Structure 1
Amino acid sequence: MTPSADQPQMSVEEFEELARVAPETVTLEFINGKLGVKPVPDGDHATIIMWLVRQCMQQRPDLDLHPELELTVEAYRSGRARTDGALAPVGHFAGQQQWSAPEGVLMIVEVTSFDRDADARDRKEKPLAYAATGIPVYLLIDRDTDSLTVFSEPENGIYQQHPTYKYGDTVPLPAPVDITLATEKLKDYAH
């Protein structure tokens, strides 16, 4: 039987206990009832996140991009995602628990890793989980295709818009983010 939100591999509580005791070299997620292992970021991955942090701070100093934030996702908050970045108003996550609620998050960022699960995890499962949660924008920086996909307008659990741009393009992030990314620098990190 394939795990799903209706027939999960384990309960959310069991997942949280497993994630609590997992070694630092393992990053666990629980999306659509399935346990997933997310690779530890490499140097280019971390550098891309810092590139994005700087662009966000310059254009929207009223917002913080929180790297590696843990969020409850999916309907009824039955999923757990370790995001590469979560954009929210300054101070938004103060006082929240380890697995933060998604309300108030304006954008989620994921940067693909070079592993066999990236396609299912970052391109299929996470857009559905983030849209179901109502997060307005999901930015996927795809290192396999040297592109950025901007998912927006979540409706009925699906992002209605998802244009893709190549590294070097000017990338507009829609409201409520309202940031324009100059992506020429990403070419330096292409493989």
Structure 2
Amino acid sequence: MNINRVRKTGFTLIELLAVVAIIGILSGVLIPAVGAVRKQSKIAASKAQLANYVNAMQLFKAEYKYFPLVSGTADSDEIKLSSESSDFIQVISGRDPSTGASVSFGGNRRRIGFYSFAASEFWLDIDALSQTKLADRFNNRNIIIVVDTDGDGFVAPSVLAAETKEEDKRIRTNVTAFVGTDSADASNPTYELWQ
């Protein structure tokens, strides 16, 4: 007697449901973690961008013995790149951001390029990059560079003004930077170079 038995291969419905449930649980745990990692990587890239601006300011000072005059002729404790991006680009790069022509501006009389701005550092306005406005990796334009204009070796960023202790309101450095709250998108993070 030769009975052919048909062998079934495959998974039962219960096994398939168990696998789907496990995948669902894992994705529920991993997807938020991946989002947090992406946010932290953007913050790290933005801090590197700010550190590059601070280094360019230091290079400028090493060359000319004074910090750049971003507002044109006057010293400024805080350089707000939300309104002074174009001037900052001209001073630090030695070029007009609109035309690319060499310019002498803000004390950079020799038109030295202390920094070359990458496309990722410009503000994305709807669908086009603005060559005259800087932004961080979250497209936040509220970048503030704080400069020691009185030469005492300390800066007092406005973000620390609410601190209760006087020593907590000042940082020992000649130049630093931070990103404040974005009025257009309050979900963007704020961060500082000194932390």
TM interval, shorter chain, is under 0.3
Structure holding more strand per residue: 1
TM-score of the superposition, structure 2-length normalised? Answer: 0.26
Larger radius of gyration: 2
The answer to which structure has the higher helix fraction is 2
Higher relative contact order (CA 8 A, sep 6+): 2
